[in-house]
Amino acid sequence: MTFNKSTTPKIALVYDRVNTSYGGAEHVLKAIGEIFPKAPLFTSVYSKEIALWANTFEIKTTFLQKVTFFRKRHQLIASLMPIAFESLKLDEYDIIISISSAEAKGVLTKPNQLHICYMLTPTRYIHSHRKEYLSSKNFLGWPIIKQLANLMLDYLKWWDKVAAFRPDIIIPISNLIKNRIKEFYSIDSETVIYPPADIAPRITSKRKVDFPFYLSISRLVNYKKVDLSIRATLKLNKYLVVVGTGVQENELKKIAQNQWTEKTTNETIYSLLDRAKKQNSKIIFTKDLSEPDVNFLLTNCKAVLMPGEEDFGITGLEASIFGKPVIVFYTSGVSELLENGINSIFIKDETEQEVIRAINELENTNFNQRLIRSKAKYHSTEKFKTQFENKILESWKHFKLNS
């Protein structure tokens, strides 16, 4: 099912910000961009140096882009994001598709425009994870700063609840997010469309290593709970490879104490693992890896650790492509597509003890790698693109009939 070329609507994409390295949300955005290759991408700020994955888009930014300093530090101007998105000029487009976990859903549209939001999550730091956000930075504990921060968050929460009613249709990425939308906005969203796993380029590495290790592929931020993976593997005297960047990196290295190492500039991933084994460095930090290097790690790891509650968690599906089980929090979005004891071990609490229990259970479970791989193919990017495009087309036809 595709749009009729003679009546093709003009489409624009809107995304919160394009200033992060490639992750699950970015894979979703790129897939949607492939469905609608002529659609420009509107966003608050854009960092070409960091978001290398975005060079295929025609990117249009808000006035915030004029201040170079803020392109990589959007957190400092959170209070300006509402007005920035409201200032975007979208009048010439028939369909606006916002892909949002924050402010992009709040763009202003007219009655003759269809606004569809593919919601990654209601804004975490003002709803579900507000307390965590306020406790994550020491300076936010200072009385005056804390008071000002709470005033700002109250304003953003008010605006966010208003903005949530601007899309004509909200499509959640998981039932977890569907329930959050109902809880925080009192909105009944559409049927879930799950994000895709990046199956096509995931080629099993031919290179094998006799080096048992667990794997974490994640942004290094508090809610991902990478610290639990580090503490648990250290307690069990296991190796853990941590792939990712983020504000929590230095804190995680402190947790690993003197038992960590990291990849040097020109070091290969193979040399890194060999050096870590010789040094008995249990926690191995690395980042900005090539696709073959990530494939190599997924091929050779024992399992992928995902102890924090994920809005979805695409890495969990990507592990399945390689026949590897996942230790995952039981309410995470991806757990809706996984089966405990078949391709995953569920954990019920975000605690070190529960991760230790799950690792011990995993090591005493015989997983069928062929079965795990077979289940992953049902969540390909191509299937997602077909499903998503059909939903947009059906929504547009219904919108035109009723307008």
For residue 170, is pLDDT > 70? yes
| Mean pLDDT (the chain, rounded) | 92
* 43 alpha-carbon distance from chain centroid: 17
Distance CA 290, CA 287 (A): 9
Q: Could you read off the pLDDT of 24-56 as tens digits, one per residue?
A: 899 999 999 999 999 999 999 999 999 999 999
Give 226-245 as a DSSP string.
Answer: HHHHHHHHHHTT-EEEEE--
Model confidence at 133, pLDDT cuts 50, 70, 90, reads confident
Q: Sign of dihedral through CA atoms 98, 182, 185, 133? A: negative
- In the CATH scheme, what is the code of domain 5-196+381-401? 3.40.50.2000
Q: Which of 272, 260, 230, 269 is closest to 356 using CA atoms?
A: 230
Q: Which of 84, 89, 97, 91 is closest to 38 using CA atoms?
A: 97
**What is the model's pLDDT at position 139?**
60
**What is the model's pLDDT at position 62?**
97
Q: Which two tokens stand for residue 345?
A: 């071990």
Q: Could you read off the pLDDT of 50-88 as tens digits, one per residue?
A: 999 999 999 999 999 999 888 888 778 889 999 999 999
Distance CA 282, CA 278 (A): 10
Provide the 3-class DSSP secondary structure of residue 16. Answer: coil
Percent of the chain with pLDDT over 70: 95
> For 201-223, what is the mean pLDDT?
84
For residue 187, is pLDDT > 80? yes
Q: Based on the number of CB atoms within 10 Å of its own CB, is 49 exposed (0-12), middle (13-18) or buried (19 or more)?
A: exposed
Residue 343 corresponds to which amino acid? N
**What is the model's pLDDT at position 138?**
63
Check: CB of residue 21 under 8 Å from CB of residue 50: yes
Distance CA 261, CA 222 (A): 21
Check: CB of residue 216 under 8 Å from CB of residue 304: yes
Residue 286 corresponds to which amino acid? T
**What is the model's pLDDT at position 200?**
60
Give pTM, 2 decimals.
0.91
What is the residue whose two structure tokens read 């499903």? Answer: 387
Helix (H) or strand (E) holding 98: strand 95-100
Q: Could you read off the pLDDT of 192-206 as tens digits, one per residue?
A: 999 998 766 566 677
Helix (H) or strand (E) holding 213: strand 213-217
Q: Which of 26, 19, 69, 77 is closest to 43 using CA atoms?
A: 19
For residue 2, is pLDDT > 80? no
What are the sequence ranges of the domains in the chain?
5-196+381-401, 213-379
For residue 339, is pLDDT > 80? yes
**What is the model's pLDDT at position 7?**
67
**What is the model's pLDDT at position 240?**
98
> For 223-237, what is the mean pLDDT?
97
Instruction: Give the contacts of 401 (CB within 8 A, at least 6 positions apart).
Output: none
Distance CA 366, CA 157 (A): 47
Distance CA 36, CA 10 (A): 10
> For 15-21, what is the mean pLDDT?
93
Model confidence at 179, pLDDT cuts 50, 70, 90, reads very high
Q: Could you read off the pLDDT of 280-308 as tens digits, one per residue?
A: 999 999 998 988 999 999 999 999 999 99
Check: CB of residue 364 under 8 Å from CB of residue 173: no
Check: CB of residue 327 under 8 Å from CB of residue 315: no
- The number of beta carbons lying within 10 Å of the beta carbon of residue 23 is 15
**What is the model's pLDDT at position 3?**
59
- CATH 3.40.50.150 for domain 213-379, yes or no, is no
